[in-house]
Amino acid sequence: MSLNPADDRFAALLRSKLGDGVLRPVEERYLEEPRGRFSGRVGLLALPRNTDEVAELVKLSAQAQVPIVPYGGGTGLVGGQVMSAGPAPLVISLERMTAIRSVFPTENVLVAEAGAVLQDVQTAAEAVDRLFPLSLAAQGSCRIGGNLSTNAGGVNVLRYGNARDLCLGLEAVLPSGEIWHGLSRLRKDNTGYDLRNLLIGAEGTLGIITAASLKLFPRPAGVGTAVFQVASPEAAIDLLALARDKVGEGVSTFELIHRQGLDFLTEVLPDVRQPFASPPEWSVLIELGLADGQSPFAALEELFVRAEELGQVQDGVIAQSEAQRADLWAVRERIPEANRLIGSVSSHDISIPISRIPDFICEGRELIAGLGPFRINCFGHLGDGNLHYNVFPPKGQHRSEFDDQRGAIKQTVHDLVYAFDGSVSAEHGVGRLKTNDLERYGDPAKLGAMRAIKLALDPQGIMNPGAVLKG
């Protein structure tokens, strides 16, 4: 079905129904995405103040067959928030819908509007001595609606799960303009199909999330952080198993770091204080969160001693103050910044069965070497099998010199991921960047079901056209 642009005539219709306070001038930030791979186009920009205004915008768009692009914090890395082809869309940003509607500490539930910044949700939980564990590098600007729409991951997935696992209920506007009032605080509700899990991860293609009931958790009484040098990815996996055997679910974070990332920090962010005088080939960042009466520092010391006896670790640094802990985290958190400053030829957000990660890394290195003298920064959330596998130009050369090889690199990596029973999208989503990959590697039955769901809920195809599923 053909769609119509969000033009002046449509703008006049919106103003007649909603007044002058919703439409805003289009700013450059709504046309861009962080990696610069896509340039969007915007016919009109709407900043609704409440769910009823979102519903009216969607209803009018459906009647006029105008495409809609939902917009969160603009931090997505797969082009889901920008539409570069087709009729100029109506962009609906929920940045004015930021309220923490209610908090239920005894239930461990917080209800937030979709425009709430992730860090503000974390702060609201902390104010009642609770933890909202979703933690991302972009948490100061990403918004909870976007986190849910992309099923965001982050550094605490090992212990607490993805965004999907942290949500009890949703309020959302469906493509017809109808409001689904699903803000349940229940943990058991078996009344039919789970629309919540259908909308989470749909990247705005099945509706617009306007609010969410989020799970909170007790705050750990003690937190301990360390970086251990390991001989190899195999040793890191053995160390993870040992850590979980010793402290169980107390392991909150287990991040794999390769020397290439540390070298990038030295090259472009020399102010970052690194834990070792000589950067190791492989290291892991471990964080424990333990209950009252347990010492995370002692647990990390015991873990190191036992791992050293087993030959899993060679050296280590255990934070002895909050400042030292911040320094260790800064190393991990600023690696993506260093990556951006260096400029990757091709970046990949992948997941691999944990036991197969060492073989994947070894085979990947050989395959990429066959394509050219590229540098590989392989790092990420080893505890849940999610690697950021990024390929960079040789030192002294710019990524633009290798634009003609980006496609070959991407396919080489993704073919290998598929061969290892992995996923080419672990936590960033599909967006517009990976629609061809979904077609290439996706299960035919799943793709058929996805298209049927899309057609049933959005028969006119107005919701974020071109994202996730190819048109």
Q: What is the pLDDT of residues 100-133, one digit of tens each?
A: 999 999 999 999 999 999 999 999 999 999 999 9
Task: Dump pLDDT digits (tens) for 407-442.
Answer: 999 999 999 999 999 999 999 999 999 999 999 999
Task: Dump pLDDT digits (tens) for 308-327.
Answer: 999 999 999 999 999 999 99
Question: pLDDT band at residue 69, thresholds of 50, 70 and 90?
Answer: very high
Position 222 pLDDT exceeds 90: yes
Task: Dump pLDDT digits (tens) for 329-350.
Answer: 999 999 999 999 999 999 999 9
Determine the pLDDT at residue 342: 96
Determine the pLDDT at residue 443: 95
**Helix (H), strand (E) at residue 289:** strand 282-290
Determine the pLDDT at residue 242: 97
Work out whether strand 90-93 and strand 68-71 pair parallel, antiparallel, or are unpaired: parallel
Determine the pLDDT at residue 286: 98
Determine the pLDDT at residue 33: 84
Question: What span, in angstroms and rounded, lies between the C-alpha atoms of 246 and 280?
Answer: 25
Task: Dump pLDDT digits (tens) for 229-278.
Answer: 999 999 999 999 999 999 999 999 999 999 999 999 999 999 999 999 99
What beta strand segments (E) does 10-134 contain?
Answer: 23-24, 44-46, 68-71, 90-93, 100-104, 109-113, 130-131
**Among 179, 195, 165, 149, which Cα is nearest to 467's?**
149
* Cα dihedral 225/231/233/236 (nearest 10): -40
Task: Dump pLDDT digits (tens) for 358-372.
Answer: 999 999 999 999 999
Position 450 pLDDT exceeds 80: yes
Question: pLDDT band at residue 387, thresholds of 50, 70 and 90?
Answer: very high
Average pLDDT for the chain: 96
Determine the pLDDT at residue 77: 84
* Range scoring the smallest mean pLDDT among 32-36, 105-109, 387-391: 32-36
Question: What span, in angstroms and rounded, lies between the C-alpha atoms of 219 and 33?
Answer: 34
pTM of the model: 0.94
